[in-house]
Each structure stands twice: as C-alpha cells, then as structure tokens.
Amino acid sequence: MPGDCLLRGGAIYYLDLGLLRGLDYYTGLVFEGYTVAMGFPICGGGRYNQLLAHFSYPMPATGFAVNLERVLVALERLQGPPEEPMTDVLVAWEDESMARAWRLPGN
C-alpha cells in the first residue's frame, strides 16, 4: 500500500493521502479499514461538514460504516475471531473529570 506505515499493537497502519471514497459529501479526511483476510475494505468513513444540513441539522460530523457481510467472510477465512481481543485504549470519564482521564499513567 502507498504512504507511510506505522506498526502498533501488532497491527499495521498505512497513511494514503491520495485515497478517494467516491462520495461527494465528504469534505475532509476519509479512511478505509482492511484485514489480512480480504483484499478490499471492510469499513470506511470520513468527515462531512455539510451533509447534515440537508436534513435540517447544520453541523459538521464524522462517521463510518462497517460491511458486516465482509467481516463475516473475513472471520471465516481467519477461522474465527482471535482468542483474546486486543484493547488498545479505553478512555471514560464522569462530569468534570476529563483532565484526570487524559493524564498519562504515572504522572
């Protein structure tokens, strides 16, 4: 794949600044998600600043969709899900505790 590559948590991430999703409502960053079991995306999405205005809700947004049929095919090809799902990051907070949630461990 073109672009820069990052390896984190056993997963490979590629940055392709030439990606086009082919939908005219995207106004910024777009992305697609792949798996080693498939040669085409299993999910995709991006940023759209004007789309919600068409539905009387004018505000910028981001979104994505997952193609469940492709995910099921990928799981079948990989012979099921991994034994232990890998959680990279989970951030949760209560009212007025955002600053505490963003602090790095050990600080």
Tens of pLDDT, residues 44-85 = 888 888 888 888 989 988 888 899 999 999 989 988 766 766
pTM for the full model? Answer: 0.57
Separation of alpha carbons 30 and 24, rounded Å: 11
pLDDT at 56: 92
Proportion of the chain above pLDDT 90, given as a percent: 8
Residues 6+ apart with CB under 8 A from 65: 43, 44, 45
User: pLDDT class for 24, splitting at 50, 70, 90?
Assistant: confident
Number of H helices, E strands in the chain: 2, 5
* Pairing state between β 11-15 and 30-33: unpaired
